[in-house]
Amino acid sequence: MHTIRLRFVALFMVATTLTLALFGIYAQQLLSSELEQRFESVQTETLQRLRLSTVQPVWDFNALEIQNVLLAEIQPLEVAAIQVLDAKGKVFAAIARDASGQAVAGLVPSSTSSIRRTTDLFRENTLTGNVKDSVVNIRIGQVVVDFSRARIDQALASDTLRRIVEIIVIDAVLLLALAFSLRTVFTPLAALRDALFSLAQQDDEEVRELPEDKRNEFGEVIKGFNLTQRKLKGVMQRRRVSEEALRHAVEKTEAAYAELQSTQAALIQSERLASLGGLVAGVAHEINTPIGVALTSASVLNEGTTQLRDSIEGGSIRKSEVMAYLNMAEEASRLILTNAQRAAQLIHSFKQVAVDQTSEMRREYELGGYLQEVVSSLRPTIKQGHGQVSIHCPSPVLVEGLPGAMAQVLTNLIMNALTHAFEPGVGGQIDIHVSSAGDTVTLSLSDNGRGIPSEDISKVFDPFFTTRRGRGGTGLGLNIVYNIVTSRFAGSIEVSSTVGTGTTFTMRFPRVLPPSTNKPA
């Protein structure tokens, strides 16, 4: 505030001084021009009068009359000296001012710094001839006048001094008036400033209002400030209430979000267990047939062996009976061995897939063969959904990563196709293509089902989004796939679909899984 006041005062004083100075300079220029014109006029008029008044006295050699004329003409202060010269250039009469400024007759200045003007004196003379008379001008002398600029310089100096004094006096008066005016302005502003600082520093809700006793513009400003302060206090109080309500809402939201995350984790775990349970049920159904055949064959072999033993002990054994037993034993052994191998293969595949899904161990595996094992473990479910799955892997693709997570991804994609892509009881074709280019593996799964509407394409990977709400759909299958591919495989997954033609999921991920991604989903 003090800086503003000083700047305002300095600006006002500079502007006032410059204005007065400019007007003073202009007025002095006018005065100087007027004095110069007057000085020129005095010179011209003096020379004209002397040229007229001194001709006859000079012609008559009347020194007294000339002296009287010179005394009269030297009265103006601009005239410093006058000399009247005869035709030969000798001083006929003279008058000049001495050091005190008094006019002294007969005084001839030896040197002068004034302006010297001269004029010749002529006498008209008439010549008489035989034909006619003629008039000629005879030069009878000269007048020399010295004009002084002292009066002009003194007048200009006096005017300059007067105007400087006027500027100083006016500046002083205006400065006092301005100081008083600024005091009436800045004193209420200082009070308002202090009130604003006090309002900003205090923490309580109390409103410290300024007195509204002034009956001028600042009184209205103070009233407005007090009103604004009261409203500001109200706004602050409402803001505190809102912040408190917002804090409680945030706490409730955080609690709900934590509960949602817990629920989502539980649903994901349930989805995994359900997938593993379906795998167990499917493998159990597949193993039931070879185990039953092997059991029946062993029972037939056991019965034939008992009959052969009885025949040998009774001594009634025949060659035909031995040959029939050998044929039956050979067929039963073949059936037992074949179905035992089939059961062992199913158990091995189930064991590998189940261990991978539960242990999450990182290892190197051949992707095409492993996908065959996963599809084999899902064969009962695929048959139940009337689907056909074909795996196309032209060359072996070795992958170092998490086979359990890969099994879960493939299981979820196949189950999603069986559930959503095909009409119930109709089924369809699912094609899995595997290729490798450098360090990047591309795996695509395509179906020829009903396709996904365009408005749902962008939401298929969102958690809890499903078109089968209430009919067994959780909306987590594809979300789990997306999280595994992007977070655990350090890859990407895209979906493209045409309604009525089918859907394709395309995954791209590094052949060697980065170590930083080897963590549970």
Q: How far is CA 107 from CA 53, 104, 117, 318, in A?
A: 20, 6, 18, 196
User: What's residue 521's pLDDT?
Assistant: 46
User: What's residue 346's pLDDT?
Assistant: 61
Amino acid of residue 198: S
User: What's residue 380's pLDDT?
Assistant: 78
- Helix ranges (H only) for 135-216 are 150-201
Q: What pTM did the predictor assign?
A: 0.41
Which strand (E) or helix (H) includes residue 388?
Answer: strand 387-392
Residue extents of the structural domains in the chain: 78-148, 360-521
User: What's residue 509's pLDDT?
Assistant: 95
The CATH code for residues 360-521 is 3.30.565.10
Q: Would you give the end-to-end CA distance of the chain in angstroms?
A: 64
Instruction: Show the low-confidence residues of the chain (pLDDT under 70).
Output: 1-3, 110-113, 126-135, 185, 188, 192, 195-220, 222, 264-287, 342-360, 467-475, 516-521
User: What's residue 447's pLDDT?
Assistant: 94
Do 399 and 367 meet the contact criterion of CB atoms below 8 Å apart? Answer: yes
Which segments within 408-465 are labelled E, that is strand? Answer: 428-437, 440-447
Q: Is 484 helix (H, G, I), strand (E, B) or coil?
A: helix
Strand partners, 496: 504
